[in-house]
Structure 1
Amino acid sequence: MEFTDRLAALATKVRNQADAIGTEEATKNAFVMPFISTILGYDVFDPLEVVPEYTADVGTKKGEKVDYAIVRDGEVQILIESKASLGQLKIEHASQLFRYFAVTNARIAALTNGVVWQFFTDLDAPNRMDAKPFLVLDLLDIDETLIPEIQKLSRESFNLESIISTAEELKYVGALKREIAAQFREPSDEWVKFFTSRVYEGAFTQRVREQFSSLVRKASKQFLTESVNDRLKTALGASGIHAPVEPVTSEPVVTEDLDRDTEIETTLEELEGYQIVKAIACGEVKPQRITQRDAKSYFAILLDDNNRKPIARLHFNSKQKYLGLLDEDKAETRHPIDSIDEIYLHAEAIRESVRRYA
């Protein structure tokens, strides 16, 4: 199995089981050890490669332990500290990593809850672990550009020099991407003022600030939607792939699905929901076959861009969000969700819907 396939398989496991894993020990067994073994390729049962509960006395701190130390050629190369999967990672959780980093030969440290992996090195000062990670891998939303960098940490392809040489760029590019994403979701006053000053010549008063806050948010979402659509069109055109053309039949077409009124506004939440459903459906079919159409009443996710093959519907236009799933007779059941991540709770139903058509 290829590296990317192994990573995708573990990501699927994390999506399906993360909410059921409540303790740090369960997180280690379910997610951390499989990552070390199947993704990085180290033998978790060989103490010459992976040392659990690694101990090194640090100053007045005696007997403190780091969850795992990965050893190569008799030297500790990677330190790993694990926390429970349901908890958010905080830099305070890395206190042992900070201390151990200074007294071992390790140049790489990882803090994880099994879902998110934060990798650190010593860019700011030699032998002192940085306060900010140079690479962040979220198994629920894998950034494909990071996969080659993760592979450099594996037993088969370990290349410390290459990792360190690209770490600074990865650190700042990753931080910038996360900040840009945050601004797209909820633009700050500085972001609003920056763009307003380039299109509006008047004074930036409180009234102008309030007016342009909503305009910048709307323009950002529309720009993102158009960029995604342009990339899909380019990819389809470059590969010569075209959406299948269905033969004309007497079966009635659901006109609601074809309503492309100009008042329709595709939101960032709908696109994020679409990407989650697409990630789940890709376990059954190629990703190019999963498409979307937005309408006034709901956001439809389809197989082969065919409105007769609905996979799911996102009803995100009201305060209470719903995920619509359809049975064999196309009868829809709406499932209330409080956050977009809850779509993962219906992963099997989504895959079953795809299997019916595929």
Structure 2
Amino acid sequence: MEFEDRLSALATKVHNQAAAIGTEEATKNAFVMPFISTILGYDVFDPLEVVPEFTADVGIKKGEKIDYAIMRDGEVQILIECKASTGSPKIEHASQLFRYFSTTNARIAALTNGVIWQFYTDLDAPNRMDAKPFLVLDLLDIDETLIPEVKKLSKETFDLESIISAAEELKYVGALKRAIGGQFRDPSDDWIKFFATKVYEGSYTQRVREQFTSLVTKASRQFLTESVNDRLKTALGAGAGIRPIDEGTSSVTSEQVAQDDLDRDTEIETTLEEIEGYQIVKAIACGEIKPVRVTHRDAKSYFAVLLDDNNRKPIARLHFNSKQKYLGLLDEAKVETRHPISSLDEIYLHADSIRGAVIRYR
């Protein structure tokens, strides 16, 4: 099994079991040890590779223990501190990691609740663990751009120099992505003021701030939908087997679709991400049928993509209501199989199955 497949399999396990895990020991057994074993590739039962309850006296602190120390050639390489999966890992939980980091040869430290893995090194000061992680891996929402960096930590391809050299960029790029994403979801006053003063020449008063709060939010949404539209144009232009759209077929931009669908139903929340996923499925299906025949219906449990607006002709189901997203595909007997995806682009990996569903119904 490839590294990405093993990571996906563990992510599915975490998604299915996280709610049932209530203690730190259960978290270690269910999530942390499998991560060390199947993802990092170390033998958790070999004390020459993984030392549980690792002890090293630190100053006046005697007998303190780190949950796991990963060894290479007799030296500590990675320190791991665990917390229960019921809470988010916070830097306040890492006091022992800070102390141990400076007294061992370890250059990598990890703080985890089994779901979120925060990896630290010593970028800011030699032999002193940074206060902020250089890599954050959320198994319920995997950033595929981080997979190659996580792989560098594995036994098979462990490359400390490469990890450290890339750590500074990872640290700030990751933090920036999280900050930008937060602003798109819930723009702060500073974010609104920054853009308002770029386009508005008058004084930035309370009335102007209130006006631009909605304008900045709307502009952000339109920017995202237009970006998706550009990506779809590329897919429609380069996708193999995609038939040209008839001249008589009316075209609708992704912005219009997103706006219409977001406003369609106040009881069911249709997200922009669901609309983006729908448009990707639609782009794939257009290789077999006219675009006008591909429709959708949103429900509380999933977002359905249908042929001819007929719920007996499901093309795909988008399960995007949790951190781990799933693409649901149905076989000839209407039995659904959920495929975990970490980004919308992964829908294209299932293009053959999507086209197959369309062919069965047309």
TM-score of the two chains, using structure 2 as the length reference:
0.75
RMSD: 3.7
Q: Deviations over 1:186-225 (max 9, x none)?
A: 1111111111112111111100000101110111122112
What does 1:129-278 align with in structure 2 at a 5 Å threshold? 129-235=129-235, 237-240=237-240, 242=242, 264=260, 266=262, 270-272=271-273
Is the 8 Å Cα contact of residues 302 and 309 (structure 1) preserved in structure 2? no
- Cα 1:325–1:144 change in 2 (3 A) is closer
- Cα 1:224–1:45 change in 2 (3 A) is same
Q: Which residue identity lines up with residue 340 of structure 1 in the other structure?
A: N
User: What is the aligned residue count?
Assistant: 314
CA distance in 1, matches of 2:214, 2:168: 35
Q: Which residue of 1 aligns with 2:38?
A: 38
TM-score of the two chains, using structure 1 as the length reference:
0.76
- Cα 1:190–1:293 change in 2 (3 A) is same
Q: Which residue of 1 aligns with 2:322?
A: 341
> Offset at 1:231?
2.3
- Cα 1:81–1:272 change in 2 (3 A) is farther
- Cα 1:100–1:235 change in 2 (3 A) is farther
> Offset at 1:325?
6.9
Aligned residue for 2:336, secondary structure, equals: helix
- Cα 1:341–1:106 change in 2 (3 A) is same
Q: Which residue of 2 aligns with 1:121?
A: 121
Q: Which runs of 5+ in 2 are unaligned?
A: 246-255, 264-268, 313-319, 339-352, 358-362
CA distance in 2, matches of 1:348, 1:261: 23
Is the 8 Å Cα contact of residues 16 and 344 (structure 1) preserved in structure 2? no
Q: Which residue of 2 aligns with 1:256?
A: none
Q: Deviations over 1:109-151 (max 9, x none)?
A: 0111111111000000111100000011111111111111111
Q: Deviations over 1:54-112 (max 9, x none)?
A: 11111111111111110001100000111111211211111111111011100000111
Q: Which runs of 5+ in 1 are unaligned?
A: 246-259, 276-290, 295-299, 316-320, 332-338
Q: Deviations over 1:308-328 (max 9, x none)?
A: 888x8445xxxxx6646799x
Aligned residue for 2:322, secondary structure, equals: helix
Is the 8 Å Cα contact of residues 294 and 305 (structure 2) preserved in structure 1? no
Q: Deviations over 1:145-189 (max 9, x none)?
A: 111111110101000001001101110111111100011011111
CA distance in 2, matches of 1:234, 1:168: 33
Q: Which residue identity lines up with residue 161 of structure 1 in the other structure?
A: E
Q: Which residue of 1 aligns with 2:249?
A: none
> Offset at 1:237?
3.4
- Cα 1:16–1:103 change in 2 (3 A) is same
Aligned residue for 2:58, secondary structure, equals: coil
CA distance in 1, matches of 2:242, 2:208: 45
CA distance in 2, matches of 1:348, 1:149: 31
- Cα 1:130–1:347 change in 2 (3 A) is farther
Q: Which residue of 1 aligns with 2:110?
A: 110
CA distance in 1, matches of 2:35, 2:73: 21
Is the 8 Å Cα contact of residues 273 and 340 (structure 1) preserved in structure 2? no
- Identity across matched positions, percent: 68
